[in-house]
Amino acid sequence: METNTKTTPVTAPADDPRTADAVARARAERDRTEQRLFELLRIPSVSTKVEHAGDCRSAAAFLREELADGGLEHAEVLETGGLPCVYADWLHAGDDAPTVLVYGHYDVQPAEPLELWETPPFEPTVRDGSVYGRGTADDKGQLWIHVVALRAMLADGGTLPVNVKVIIEGEEESGSEHLDGFVERERERLACDVVLVSDTHMLSAEQPSIVSSLRGMAYCEVTVQGPAVDLHSGIFGGAVRNPAEALANLIASCKDADGRITIPGFYDDVVEPSADEREAMTKIGFDDDEFRRDAGVSATWGESGWSVYEQIGARPTLEINGMWSGYIEPGAKTVLPASAHAKISMRLVADQDWSRIGDLLERHLQTQAKDMPGVERVTVEPLHGGRPVLVDTTHPAMKAATTALEATFGKPPVFTREGGSIPVVATFTEQLDAPTVLMGFGLPDDCLHSPNEKFSLDQLHKGVETSIAFWHAYADVHDS
């Protein structure tokens, strides 16, 4: 939560003799950079839908080709048991130079509800300096930054001051089910000093930031089974427990009026921020009004006693991501549904364990349901889980990212806590013993996971120059 206090003057990458050529090349190729990105964006690589498995593989093949064409070596599509990963590297900086593993994901969220998109989700369209489409910011546009930066540096016989490996996965939006096993098996190939990820957003276009904390996640699907089949609500209604109503009661039982989660044991392992940390969070420059405007709500609501910034970054949450039961098409149907369903995700903070939290949810719901005669069965199926992460802000690579961002944006970044989850970060910590630098270039209004997702082209191109600056900044800090 510290704001960065580094004061050494930094040189813009275009003016630094070590990076000026690469920046010039990147600037000259901006049109190609955008057009090739749009090609990638046109591939509907929705990992959560099996019918898009072929598209996911097309996106992987496209990236492999682009990396190889850009001067990286050993470019390969690697099987994981699920959707594949793309790998490439450039390892000629010498044994003394550090190794950076760049991580990104080529898969995207489903685009539904389609009718709310102003332009088709898989037809990238530029409006007001941003490209609109599914995956523009999350994460195709952001991973593209490093692909382009490496290409600009390696062109015309150029070199890198650090060793670089690139790994781009295809199951991030569906729980990275096969990545843990893959990273474990490929520990040698992926060995590195630090992981660099651009899959988060900055506080604003004027205020760069680095994420120092990510929430984990436990995502479950809950099914409440009532009668054996859908019944006529006139003939049976009044004497048969309605599973939609039972589900509503179960959901309502998970939180109290103060927005506090009432699942027994839920908060047991939460590391509460210290008074100093809470004080620091008040100075982060987080704008509640802007948050409210971005969300499109007249008032925020969350766990009482915590600021909005803390509610979304430092506190665990429970959200209903989907809910359905009975007749959901237009018109009236007098049915008493046989079952009711909800997708429930809980964002977790250190040291909550997603597997235990899933169990606690299940135990709570089963206990509640015991007092509901006519609820025949409640099942809680875990859909995916991820560990929360706190990043060491004093690591050399964090300092390098700070320098690179300041050099490009003219202002030192602040460290922020982000509500989202990138489960693989914990995997890298455990399997590769490497910390992760979360240097994101998205903006808060990018509509991730929503209709009309966008990514600012200005952020894209500034991101490329930041990436170019980062390699040298990291080599500098590592040498010193």
Touching a second copy, residues 310-329 (CB under 8 A): 311-312, 315-317, 319-329
Residue 408 is encoded by which pair of tokens?
A: 């490009």
Beta carbon of residue 444, minimum distance to a second copy (angstroms, whole number): 7
Report the distance separating Cα 129 and Cα 274, nearest Å.
Answer: 41
Query: Hey, which residues between 162 and 191 contact a second copy (CB under 8 A)?
Result: 173-175
Query: Which residue's structure tokens are 């991973």?
Result: 143
Tell me the CA end-to-end span of the chain in Å, nearest whole number: 25
Stretch that binds a second copy, among 155-163, 186-194, 266-274, 441-449 (CB under 8 A): 441-449
Residue 331 is encoded by which pair of tokens?
A: 């018109």
How far is C-alpha 65 from the chain's CA centre? Answer: 25
Nearer to a second copy, 73 or 327 (CB): 327
Report the distance separating Cα 15 and Cα 407, nearest Å.
Answer: 10
Query: Which residue's structure tokens are 């930094």?
Result: 10
Report the distance separating Cα 163 and Cα 192, nearest Å.
Answer: 9
- Residue count at the site for a second copy (CB under 8 A)? 99
Nearer to a second copy, 275 or 332 (CB): 332
Query: Which residue's structure tokens are 């489960």?
Result: 423
Residue from 448, 457, 414, 421 nearest 436 by CA:
421
Site for a second copy contains 242 (CB under 8 A):
yes
**DSSP one-letter string for 230-274:** -EETTTTTTTS--HHHHHHHHHHTTB-TTS-B-STTTTTT--PPP
Q: Is 354 exposed, middle or buried (0-12, 13-18, 19+ CB in 10 A)?
A: buried
Report the distance separating Cα 133 and Cα 51, nearest Å.
Answer: 20
Site for a second copy contains 355 (CB under 8 A):
no
Site for a second copy contains 340 (CB under 8 A):
yes
Out of 6, 32, 92, 232, the only residue in the binding site for a second copy (CB under 8 A) is 232
Beta carbon of residue 232, minimum distance to a second copy (angstroms, whole number): 4
Stretch that binds a second copy, among 84-92, 143-151, 240-248, 457-465 (CB under 8 A): 240-248
Out of 95, 96, 238, 480, the only residue in the binding site for a second copy (CB under 8 A) is 238
Nearer to a second copy, 11 or 48 (CB): 48
Site for a second copy contains 227 (CB under 8 A):
yes
Distances from the Cα of 72 to the Cα of 62, 89, 177, 328, angstroms: 14, 5, 27, 51
Query: Hey, which residues between 115 and 134 contact a second copy (CB under 8 A)?
Result: 116
Out of 18, 368, 419, 476, the only residue in the binding site for a second copy (CB under 8 A) is 419
Site for a second copy contains 280 (CB under 8 A):
no
Query: Hey, which residues between 186 and 225 contact a second copy (CB under 8 A)?
Result: 201, 215, 217, 219
Report the distance separating Cα 448 and Cα 388, nearest Å.
Answer: 20
Site for a second copy contains 81 (CB under 8 A):
no
Judging by DSSP bridges, how do beta strands 194-197 and 436-438 pair with one another?
Answer: parallel
Nearer to a second copy, 24 or 327 (CB): 327
Report the distance separating Cα 43 and Cα 121, nearest Å.
Answer: 10
Query: Hey, which residues between 257 and 276 contact a second copy (CB under 8 A)?
Result: none
Site for a second copy contains 226 (CB under 8 A):
yes
Beta carbon of residue 174, minimum distance to a second copy (angstroms, whole number): 6
Out of 48, 125, 207, 223, the only residue in the binding site for a second copy (CB under 8 A) is 48
Out of 447, 464, 468, 477, the only residue in the binding site for a second copy (CB under 8 A) is 447
Site for a second copy contains 233 (CB under 8 A):
yes
Site for a second copy contains 420 (CB under 8 A):
yes
Beta carbon of residue 471, minimum distance to a second copy (angstroms, whole number): 29
Angle CA(252)–CA(254)–CA(259) in degrees, nearest 5? 90
